[in-house]
Each structure stands twice: as structure tokens, then as C-alpha cells.
Amino acid sequence: MKRITFAAILFCTAQILSAQTQIEGLLLSTFGDTIIGANVVLRGTYDGTSSDLKGRFTFNSSEKGAQVLQVTYIGFDTLSIPVNLNGQTIKLNLKLKANINQLSETVILAGTFEAGDSKKAVVLKPVDIALTAGAVADITGALLTLPGAVRNQESGQLLVRGGSPGETRTLIDGMYVQSPYNNTTGNMPARNRFSPFMFKGMSFSSGGYSAEYGQALSSTLQLNSSDLSGKNVTGLQLMSVGGGATQQKSWKNSELNLGGMYTNLKPYFGLVRQNFNWQQAPVSGNVEAGFKTKTSQTGMFKIYATAAQNSFDLDAPLNGDDRNMAPLQLKGDNIYFNSSFKEIVGKTWALFVGAAYSNNRDRIQQNFNLHRVQQSFQSRFTLTREMGERVKLKFGAEQLWSEFDETFIQGERFHTLRRDQNLAAFAETDLTLSKKWLVRAGLRSERSSMLQKAALAPRFSTALLLGKGEQLTFSAGRFYQNPDFTLLRRGTYVDFEQADHFILGYQKQVKGYLFRTELYQKSYRSLVKTNAELLNNLGSGYARGLDLFWRDTKTIKNGDYYLTYSYLDTKREQQDAPGLVMPTFAAKHNLSVVYKHWMPKVQSILSASYAFQSGRPYHDPNSKGFNTGRTQAFHDLSLTWAYLTNIRNNFTVVYLAANNVPGFKQVSGYRFAQTPDANGQFYGSPVLPPAKRFVFLGLIMTIGEKFSKNQDNNDDF
């Protein structure tokens, strides 16, 4: 069962939905011409918008105090003016000065659907994630509504463009997150550990990502933590599955955050019918602490640490046969630590230094005992410099130490210990060839001590501005990744797995509308195959397809909707597959429709989402061929309602969320007994979710924040 961490989400949502400052104005050139499509942002934040066809702009920000409003537009000098955010509307009339030497602000977007990017299209903000129906405020759940993502109900993890769950890497402030999901077992959906409101921006790269990052064959999810908020607030949470508390203390240049929560699904399971026979309902608890401080006008130091535990006990099939059930127990522990430092050094160089540590422990018992501990420690640095107006250089290096220690007992005792020291370096440059043409070229090198192999990964991207708000992009690159530790139980005499990406994209954005489409081809090489007790790198495969995205925040007053569609054609020869076959985690067609509506008269936000996915392959040992079976199509209609009010003059949000409201039958695959019956047939049964639907009710009180009813035309919705 998904571990519910909704309380922290509600707390942060309450803060964002409370006091806001509206900034509006008119943009003209010094010649009196209307400036259309200029980027208007608060520097150092992800709050901003673009000027419309009349040169006007308006947006809301939850920032407070002295800020700098920055306006950028191709062919004009950047304009920076001080503003003071105090909850009162700010009205501005601004003029931009033409500069024939000013270079393009074109942003390379090939393979990337960015959330909160200050220069270009905003696709998802943190509040989008909290209010996306069906996501239950889970980062991964919301990302599944974006093009390129494939739903995997039995795991709950993010799969991208034909890639397996292990091919997507999660990063916080550029640092590796070893275990981004809570501890679970097979066919039990997991949940992302982190609240979206920890972050000021999220960049979901569905391919062709920068040479700065590696060890991900398909994609990266880059989460950038928030800066100082300047608020002193206390949060109290009551939920249908538990409760928690948070405390935030701010000083002039520093901020401390503390929090904790406890969830127990036993009372909920007593009210809602489950597909599983639970011996002990899922129980979880976590504590977290964060500290950030400004070390100078341009320097920022951050620390974040969290520790979590979760457990459950349920009857599960033995050897794939649900006619023979036995209790399965899981206990999981996780520790994660992240620190980073940014500073401008020597007036021309931007320095980043970071470190991260992960420790994840699983203890699973049934008719076996499994004890697994995975650890990692990463350190990295980057240096960035703009060398004139046409060249931007970035380079850096990192080390990642990993350990996999597993003991499995079932009659016999099997122990696996694997350690790896991965060293990497990269260099990348952005070249502005003209006002409308930008090129990015990079090279990454890696070496694994465990595999005793080294690799070079070239990356290339280019963007061409076709018109106002319109651009064409192309990206290509080579990507390497270590085989999963679970495959290396038999030995480490294999090479990196490899994928080559080719992506062609087009984007058109005008005030209130965004359209994006991408064609892609991904070729896999050196995939690990299992042959009896031997391993080799003779596997291969491909993934190709089309992604479409449309967002409209203008047509419906107080409404916001987006549509996504993805077509995927993929086959692989990997592990025990006898040839090129469609993997069980892939689906040809994926469609999502997401709608949010703000109702100011009743101070409520209503959101709905519909998801469709065509049937996925499964292997039926009673039929000829491999992975020739197909599940029924997946459907889901989910709703979320949020009511904003006051309790004893403290800002309060009441949430009600329900997944799969109509109760569609959702089958993610079939399991089969390992041995045939007397007639030579293998008994099979469908893999179902823990329950037909999930309903959540929560209340949060934010002490220290008052609710303002002036929420009309809020850009967050």
C-alpha cells in the first residue's frame, strides 16, 4: 500500500495558497512598440510569466520583502528593478532598450518537460502536483500525467519512453537519491518519499539530458530545493490515516525546518474493502530536518536530512500461486542526507559543491528470509562561467561510492556483497551562434571500479527560434548505466549498459496556451542477458514514439487544463527474453486529461483527471511465444477537492481526494504458478491493486498564516 505522506503536502499547500502579492504591468520598447512574449520573473525564484499580445503581464508570488524583478527579451537589454512584496498589488509601466548585440535567450528543451523553468514554458508547479487528481500529492503520480511517462500500477514508479524503473535517476540539487521511493515488495505500489513543496522547481527530462549527469539510460528527475521563505509558521495535520506536525523558524539570513508524521492504515482498512488480506496494515513514521543560510550576497548553504521506517504484513501467494497463501512481512528503514553550497567566486565563476548519503534497509520474510542493505555516498562539484556573450562553459567531476549487501536464506544461505566506486568528469558549453540559434555540446567520461570499465558519452543539443514563442529543437547523445545490482549476484564480468537518444521537438507558446510535440528514437545496446548461471552483454532493443502536450490556462475563466498523449513502440532482448519482445512494463498508448478549477465564491479548488493506457504484455506459460498476452486497457477517473477557510483565525485547508471513483477494474498483469497441474496447465491469476479505489480526507491548520479571500485569477491554478 502506498505510504501516505499527505500531511506535509497540505502544510506547504496552505502556505502557498495564503497571502500572495500580485504584480502586473505593461511592457513597451523605448520606441513605444509593444513587447510580446518577454520573460518577466522575480530573480532567484520560479515566479513569473510572459507578456501577452498587448504587452501586459500579471502574476502572483508568495515571496515577501525586497526582491528584484527581471525582464528579458531577445534583442533588448535585460531590465532589473527592485520591488517590495507586501501583499499589495504592484503596478508597473516598463520600457526596454533595444540592443543589437543582445543574444538569444533560447532554451534547449529537447527531451525535457520542465516544471517551473523561469525562462520558458511552465508545465507543472509544486501546487499543480498537490492538486492533480489521482496523484494524491505524489511527485511521481503527477509526472505520470506528462507525455513520455508509462503507468506501472504494481510498482508506482516512474517509467519513461520504454525504460524500466531503474533507468530513471532522481536528483536533489544535483545530488543522487539512491532510494526515492518508500520500501515495498513486488506488486505493492510505492510512493515518492519527498514533498513537492520542498522544491522551487522540478525538471523532468524524458531523454537527451545534459552531460552533467549520468548513470541513467532513459531520464532524470531533477528537484531543486527552495530557498529562504522568511516565514515563521507551525503546521498541525489531521488525516484519515494519521497525523503530524511541522515547525519553520526564520531569521534574517537563515531558516530551520523540523517535522514528523505517523500513519497507520488499520482504521482506514476497517472501513474500505481491500483486495489483500492484511495481517498488519501498513504503518510508517518519519522525521526530517532542514537548515539553509545565506553565506553572502551570492552564497547559499543547505542541509537536509530525513529518517523513515515502514512495515506491513499480509498474506501473499507462494511461488506465484494465490491458492497457496502465506504471511509476508516487510520492515524497511531509510536514511537520506543532502548538503550543497553555491557561491560566485572570483566575480566570474559560479561554484557548486555538494554531498549526499543514502542508507536503505529491507527485511522481508515469507518462506524465506531476505536482508538487504544498500548504501551510497556521492560528492561533486561544478564550475560555470560565461565567457563573453556568446559562450557559456560548465565543467565538473563527481564520485559515487555504492554498496549492495544481501543475504537470502531458503534452506541454503546465499550472500552477495558488491561495492563500486564510480568516478566521472564532464565538460559542456553553450554556444550562441545567432540571436535565434543556440548549440550545446558536452562530453562525459565515467569509470566503474566494480566493472573495471570506462566509457565516453558525447551529448549534443540545438535550439532554433522560429518566431515569437516558437522553437524547433534537436538532441542526440549516448548514455551509460551500471547493470542493476540484483543482476550482478552472479558476477561482475559485464560492461555498462548503453542507450543512444535522438529527439526532434517543436514548441509553440502564446499567452495562456502551450503546445509541444517530440519524436524520439532510443537504441539499446549491451543489455545484460542471463544464460543459466552466466551473464553477458548480448542484449539489445529499441524504443521509438511520439509525445504530444497541450495546456490551456486562458479559455476557461479560473480554469486550467492540459492534455497529453504518448505513442510507444518498443522491444527488447534482455535478461531471460529469448528474442526481441515488448517488455511487460510498456504500453503502446497513454492518454491523460487533467483539469483544475478555482471557485472563489466557495473558496474551493476542484480538480479531476482521467487516464487511459492500452493493455500491457505479460507472459503466459500456457500459450506459445514470449510476452504474447495482453492485459485489459487501464482506465482511471480521479477527483480532488480543497476548501480554504479559517479556524480560530489560522489558515486551514480541508482536502478530500478519491482515486478511481467509478471503480474500474485495473489489472496490471498476471501471475502463474511455477509448476503445472495434472493437466499440464499453469494456474494463473490477475495482479490487482490493494483496493479498487482510495479515498483520503485531511485537514491542516497553519498557525502563523491568515487566509486572504483575494484569490481571483491566481496563477497557481
- Kindly report, residue by residue over 243-292, the tens digit of the pLDDT: 889 898 999 889 999 999 899 999 999 888 888 899 999 999 999 999 99
Grid coordinates in use for 148?
513520455
Please state the rounded mean pLDDT for residues 602-623: 93
pLDDT at 95: 87
> CA-CA distance, 543 to 520, in Å (whole number)?
8
At 601, the pLDDT band (50, 70, 90 cuts) reads confident
pLDDT value at 68 more than 80: yes
CA–CA separation, 124 and 122 (whole Å): 6
Beta bridge partners of 346: none
Q: Rounded CA gap, 130 and 140, in Å?
A: 11
Q: Is the pLDDT of residue 325 over 50?
A: yes
Q: Look at the chain and count its residues.
A: 717
Instruction: Give the pLDDT band (50/70/90) at residue 31.
Output: low
- How buried is residue 44: exposed, middle or buried, by Cβ count under 10 Å (0-12/13-18/19+)? middle
The confidence band for 365, taking pLDDT boundaries of 50, 70 and 90, is very high
pLDDT of residue 54: 73
Pair 594, 132: CB distance under 8 Å: yes
Q: Is 104 among the domain residues?
A: no
Residues 47 and 154 in one domain: no
Domain finish residue from 46, 64, 96: 96
Q: Quick check: is 606 in a domain? A: yes
pLDDT of residue 74 exceeding 60: no
- The C-alpha cell 498523449 sits at 565
Q: Indicate whether 81 and 188 sit together in one domain.
A: no
Mean pLDDT in residue range 401-424: 96
Query: Is residue 445 situated within a structural domain?
Result: yes
499-541: per-residue pLDDT in tens? 999 999 998 888 888 899 999 999 999 999 987 667 899 999 9
44: cell is 532567484
pLDDT computed for residue 703 by the predictor: 80
Distances (CA, A) of 2 to 87, 190, 397: 38, 5, 36
3-state helix, strand, coil in the chain (%, to 5): 5, 60, 35
pLDDT of 712 strictly over 70: no
Q: ∠646-651-652 over CA atoms, to 5°? A: 75
CB 659 within 8 A of CB 151: no
Q: Are residues 92 and 146 in the same domain?
A: no
pTM, entire model: 0.81
- Average pLDDT over all residues of the chain: 85
pLDDT band at 19 (very low <50, low <70, confident <90, very high): low
Confidence of residue 370 (pLDDT cuts 50, 70, 90): very high
Paired with 83 in beta bridges are: 67
Clarify whether residues 90 and 115 are in a common domain: no
Per-residue pLDDT band at 127 (split at 50, 70, 90): low
Question: Is the pLDDT reported for residue 120 higher than 50?
Answer: no
Here the cell at position 652 is 486551514
- Identify the domain containing residue 75 by its residue range: 13-96
Out of 96, 125, 148, pick the residue that ends a domain: 96
Q: Which of 45, 63, 96 marks a domain boundary?
A: 96
Rounded distance between C-alpha atoms, residue 448 and residue 306, angstroms = 29
Question: Would you place residue 37 in the very low, low, confident or very high pLDDT band (cuts 50, 70, 90)?
Answer: low
Residue matched to cell numbers 523605448 = 30
Looking at residue 596, which CATH number applies to its domain? 2.40.170.20
Q: Please report the pLDDT score of residue 707 as a whole number.
A: 53
Is the pLDDT reported for residue 465 higher than 60? yes
Query: Is 114 a residue whose pLDDT tops 50?
Result: no
Provide the pLDDT confidence category of residue 70 given band limits of 50, 70 and 90.
Answer: confident
Cα-flanking dihedrals φ and ψ of residue 130, to 5°? -65, -30
Report if residue 714 sits inside a domain. no
Q: Where are the alpha helices (DSSP H) in 179-257?
A: none
pLDDT of amino acid 100:
35
Mark whether 153 and 299 lie in a shared domain: yes
In this prediction, residues 459-464 reach a mean pLDDT of 91
**Is the pLDDT assigned to residue 109 strictly greater than 50?**
no
Cα(440)–Cα(431) distance, rounded to whole angstroms?
6
* Residue 628 lies inside a defined structural domain of this protein: yes
- Window from 359-373, 438-452, 638-652, 702-716 with minimum mean pLDDT: 702-716
What pLDDT, on a 0 to 100 scale, did the predictor assign at position 705?
60
Kindly report which listed range (173-177, 296-300, 382-386, 673-677) carries the lowest average pLDDT score.
296-300
Domains of the chain: total: 2
pLDDT at 112 over 50: no
- The reported pLDDT for the residue numbered 436 is 84
Is 90 exceeded by the pLDDT of residue 107? no
The percent of residues in the chain predicted with pLDDT above 70, rounded, is: 89
Q: State residue 495's pLDDT score.
A: 94
Q: 277 and 351: one domain?
A: yes
30 lies in a domain? yes
- If one compares 370 and 139, the residue with the highest pLDDT of the two is 370
Question: Cα(388)–Cα(304) distance, rounded to whole angstroms?
Answer: 36
Q: Is the pLDDT of residue 565 over 80?
A: yes
Looking at the structure, tell me whether residues 91 and 113 fall in a common domain: no
Are both 169 and 309 inside the same structural domain?
A: yes
Cβ atoms of residues 59 and 517 within 8 Å: no
Give the residue among 702, 699, 687, 710 at the shortest CA–CA distance from 185.
Answer: 687
Question: What is the residue whose three cell numbers read 497529453?
Answer: 564
115 lies in the same domain as 86 = no
Portion of the chain with pLDDT greater than 90, in percent: 46
Instruction: Give residue 108's identity as a one-letter amino acid code.
Output: I
Count other C-beta atoms under 10 Å from residue 255's C-beta: 22
Q: How far apart are CA 99 and CA 79, in angstroms?
A: 12
pLDDT at residue number 427: 97
322 lies in the same domain as 213: yes
**Which pLDDT does position 1 carry in this prediction?**
42
One domain, residues 53 and 166: no
pLDDT at 608: 94
Give the CATH number of the domain where residue 63 resides: 2.60.40.10
Mean pLDDT along residues 62-72: 84
Residue 691: pLDDT above 80? Answer: yes
Task: Say whether pLDDT at 713 is over 50.
Answer: no
Residue 693 placed within a domain? yes
710 part of a folded domain: no
Task: Give me the DSSP letters along 419-473.
Answer: EEEEEEEEEEEEEEEETTEEEEEEEEEEEETTTTEEEEEEEEEEEEEEETTEEEE
pLDDT at 102: 30
Is the predicted pLDDT of residue 714 greater than 50, yes or no? no
Does pLDDT of 180 surpass 50? yes
Give the per-residue pLDDT at 103. Answer: 29
Q: Are residues 65 and 117 in the same domain?
A: no
How would you list the strands of the sheet with 168-172, edge to edge? 112-115, 199-205, 219-225, 168-172, 175-176
Sequence-distant (≥ 6) Cβ neighbours of residue 581 within 8 angstroms: 571, 572, 573, 617, 626, 627
3-state helix/strand/coil string of 692-705: CCEEEEEEEEEECC
pLDDT tens digits for 651-687? 888 889 999 999 999 999 999 998 999 899 999 999 9
Q: Mean per-residue pLDDT for 96-110?
A: 44
Cβ pair 665, 651 in contact under 8 A? no
Contact 628, 605 (CB under 8 A): no
